[in-house]
Structure 1
Amino acid sequence: MPMDTEHRLDATEIKACCALTYQSDAARLLLGDSFHPGGIRLTEHLGALLHLEPGQRVLDVASGQGRSAIALAQRYSCQVLGIEYGAEAVQQATQAAVEANIAHLVTFQQGDAEHLPVPDNHFDAVICECAFCTFPDKTTAAAEFQRVLKPAGQLGLSDLTRTDEIPEDLQGLLAWIACIADAQPVDAYVRYLTEAGLTITMLENHDAALQEMVQQIQGKLLGAELLQRLQKIKLPASFDLEQAKKLARAAKAAIQANTFGYIALLASKVN
């Protein structure tokens, strides 16, 4: 479901499109277990920067199929609630937690990042990985982060950035790789969060993780093409392999041109 200049999706369609993308077989084929640059390595790095500890309450916003939430609970013994828009992803994440014997620490719930179904001042930390750029109303989502954090609570966020307008031939990435049609410049992310009442305390560049992810996707596409020719796999009918290869090449070129990047940041609630 690509975004273009002639047809802009409304907010509900955008959320549904991204949820369906991450629940799809194609997404699992291309992105593996962890649907964001840096994978679990970067998730655990964020956890370390947040100084997560046993017993702390952590909210994972846009938790997908639960891989990050499970990893944080396993590594830091914190209590994690994952909020995810897609109902199927919530079911998959819940099952994954049971299979990992970590369901006593991790739970998942369907919900909207712009209307988080949780109390005020409740969480020690909020994590949001490669998803804030997909939220249609970023001002409201940032305010929700601030609302649910305890005083002195912290936000750990990683996301795609851009330094220029998104090239026209990458508009279709909304449905194929990471719903990046509304990736923001770094200063825009900072502005959304500071205007919501959060204070930025750290910002790191992780462009290499984005480059690595796109290279891995290209490799998986080539592998999928070979296996399909050998009749070893059958790709979903909705999966356009040639289009995906074209978009991956365009994404790699845009990253090499520094149009896209990837950051991790911390922000704290001061009162």
Structure 2
Amino acid sequence: MNTEHTFDATEVKACCALAYQSDAARLLLGDSFHPGGIQLTEYLGSLLRLEQGHRVLDVASGQGASAIALARRFGCQVLGIEYGAEAVRQASRAAVAENLAHLVTFQQGDAEHLPVPDNSFDALICECAFCTFPNKTLAALEFQRVLKPTGQLGLNDLTCTGAVPEDLQDLLAWIACIADAQPVESYIRYLEKGGLNITRIENHDSALHDMVEQIQGKLLGTELLLRLRKVELPASFDIEQAKRLARAAKAAIQSNTFGYVTLLARKEY
């Protein structure tokens, strides 16, 4: 999978935004909607050598957990750009609640048309989202445009090699956002085509494995609470299907069909 898809881009973006704003997503994924959680986000910040005074752009910032964590840990100024309006509202409230609104702000926007000036950020992060962008080449060009000269990109994302197992096809419908996950070599080509030079590649498949195990644990806990009538789930959420898909996803990770990677890149003039 190394070509851009031709499906309706607006529909895909809206689907992803709604999926990650849902109660079901928060139930299964917690506050940080990506493998490795805040720990991997802070590690990414360390690799980027973030510090007080740096301006950081968090593309596809979701409900703000990563942006808030980076501002708290490194004292940097962070702007989160997120497609979903409700996620922006939730993230803004979270920044206020954490007393970090002076460092962290959020704005609705599209990764393929970032609403920020050229050459304005020391670093840009994008976590578990690049694989969801319909036009990855355009997104990479936007990353390069908004970074300052010698500014750095830190990207964590899902990779997929080979054919997706048949029993996971429903997973791609359930969370359509992962349907265009690609081999790491494809991501490298997109970024290089966008004018960014790759400086570091790390494998973090274990973070993806741990995330699936955590989801399985949460599903078992949720099933118990359902039996005790302590929780209600959305009518559209099928817990038995979710359990089957989690088992299939774990098997696909163990067979190296799915993985998770960290990429660092630099804008050079």
Give the TM-score taking structure 2 as reference length: 0.96
Mean alpha-carbon deviation: is it higher for 76-85 or for 241-250?
241-250
Select which of 43, 46, 55 maps to 2:44.
46
- What does 1:52-201 align with in structure 2 at a 5 Å threshold? 52-174=50-172, 176=174, 179-201=177-199
Note if contact 2:81-2:109 (Cα within 8 Å) is conserved in structure 1: yes
Aligned residues with identical type, % of pairs: 78
CA contact (8 A) 2:53 2:76 kept: yes
Decide whether aligned partners of structure 1 residues 125 and 88 sit closer, same or farther in structure 2, where only a CA change above 3 A counts. same
Q: Contact 2:15–2:176 (CA<8 Å) still a contact in 1? A: no
Match of 1:234 among 207, 232, 235: 232
The whole-number CA distance in structure 2 between the counterparts of 1:160 and 1:128 is: 12
8 Å contact from structure 2 (residues 55, 121) kept in 1: yes
Deviation of 1:146 after TM superposition, in Å, equals 0.4
1:208 equivalenced with 2:211 (yes/no): no
Asked if 2 retains the 8 angstrom alpha-carbon contact of 1:176 and 1:244, the reply is no
Could you give the per-residue CA deviations for residues 6-28 of structure 1, whole angstroms, max 9, x where no partner exists?
xx851111111110010000000
Q: How do 1:241-256 and structure 2 match up within 5 A?
A: 241-256=239-254
Q: Give the CA deviation at 1:174.
A: 4.0
Structure 1 unaligned spans of 5+: 1-7
Residue 220 of structure 2: aligned partner: 222
The 4+ residue runs of structure 1 with deviation greater than 2 A are 171-179
What secondary structure does 2:177 align onto? Answer: coil
Cα deviation digits, residues 21-47 of structure 1 (max 9, x gap): 100000000000100000000000000
Contact 1:18 1:174 in 2 (8 A): no
Matched pairs, number: 264
User: Which amino acid in the other structure matches residue 20 of structure 1?
Assistant: L
Q: SS state of the match for residue 159, structure 2?
A: strand
- Tell whether the 8 Å contact from 2:140 to 2:190 is kept in structure 1 after alignment: yes
Q: Letter of the aligned partner of 1:147 in structure 2?
A: R
Contact 1:58 1:79 in 2 (8 A): yes
1:21 aligned onto 2:19: yes
After superposition, the CA RMSD in angstroms is 1.2
Q: Which secondary structure state, in structure 2, belongs to the residue aligned with residue 153 of structure 1?
A: strand
> Structure 1 pair 191/181, CA: closer, same or farther in 2 (3 Å)?
same
Deviation per CA, 1:111-149: give whole Å up to 9, x if none: 000010000111000000000000010010011000100
